[in-house]
Amino acid sequence: MDRMLSSEEAAKRLGVKITTLYAYVSRGLVSSHPNPNGRSSLFDLDDIERLAQRSRGGRQSESRLATVTTSVTQLHQHGGPFYRGRAATELVATLHFEEVAALIWNQPPEDDWSPVALGPCPLVGTLDRMRWALVVCGANDPLRSDLRPEAVTRAARRVIASLTDVIATGPTGGDGDAAIAQRLAHRLGARDPVAVAEALDAALILMADHELATSTMAVRVATSVHTDIYDALLVGLATLAGPLHGGASQEAHELLVRAERDGVATALNEVLRQKRYLPGFGHAVYKSGDARHDALMRLVEPLLDPEQSDLVHEVIALAAEHRVPLPNCDLALAALSWGLGLPSDSGRTIFAIARVSGWTAHYLEELTEPPLRFRARAVYSV
């Protein structure tokens, strides 16, 4: 009971008057505690939160964030994300990533996907190289405050190309006219870039946007103060970096490495003991399975050796036998990176490059909304 609210803050959290709050006390719905100042009462935050949860079926508590209306992506329980009304899982068979980006941006397709001349890149990890590249892209744009859609999407194309160009492994330069997936295959050091490019193109499409994911929400908050596109994308990249978001596929990659080394049962048991969950399994939205996983695995599996394919299936089968939630897109990204001998953080790299397109779409959409509309309401705890 170390988190206590004053009567004013408790009433505000419940969205009621103070007199109503004390009526709840008299009815035994919530307990009050003496305030050391002797003039009022204190309320336990957890008790108030529980009462607020119960009350949502009736009187609504005060909204704490703006409602976000979007036309970019809709999530379907069984079909996955739909971009502008079109299923991402179907777009992988008909369009390339560059065309899907134009669809998401609601702009005509463009052929210019050339990177910025960045100069010597620092010898740091991939994610830090991408952050550095994004900052340099902004610094080299003399009109970075131009918020017209054509200017914003031009900047986004250059950012995507530049982030691809600074990936640490593989040759660089000389392929400025190639598709982003083809460049990415080279940068990641794929042994057969041509064969891998198709799977990478699908991964980029499937990861392009996912409605109001955490990083996307961060981008929209930054956009609401009319920051330029480079700074907004930097906010998204920073948020995506966490292991519970863009970094989840790297943990799934490590799970497959351990399964190959120690055996499937041992690896899954050890990971469950350490983390209490299996990376690459379960999703807050897709309770019946992540359609993105199935769509990507159809292209990844032919690239795997038979032994690798068997191991992935064994991992999924053992998890299913013990009623672990179904696999998600992070496991498919992990199978791609692990099976093809790519760097362990390749899933996060693919995720970040792809998601720049979605962030840009939400950036453009947020610019049409009233500025400064995101103001969370705090409940002061004593």
What positions carry a catalytic annotation? Answer: 283, 330
Q: What is the DSSP string of 335-346?
A: HHHHHTT--TTH
| Token representation of residue 30 | 């919530």
| SS3 at position 60 | coil
Q: How far apart are CA 375 and CA 378, in angstroms?
A: 9
Contacts of 237 (CB under 8 A, 6+ apart): 127, 130, 131, 134, 215, 352
* CA 325 to mean position of chain CA atoms: 19
Length of the chain measured in residues: 382
Element (H, E) at 155: helix 149-165
By the 8 A CB rule, do 202 and 295 touch? yes
By the 8 A CB rule, do 233 and 360 touch? yes
Characterize 122-154 residue by residue with b for buried, 16 or more Cβ atoms within 10 angstroms of its Cβ, and e for exposed. Answer: eeeebbebbbebbebbbeebeebeeeeeebbbb
Q: How far apart are CA 335 and CA 304, in angstroms?
A: 8
* CA 21 to mean position of chain CA atoms: 39
By the 8 A CB rule, do 188 and 169 touch? yes
By the 8 A CB rule, do 159 and 180 touch? no
E-state strands within 190-250:
none
| Degrees to nearest 5, angle at CA 175 with 169 and 179 | 95
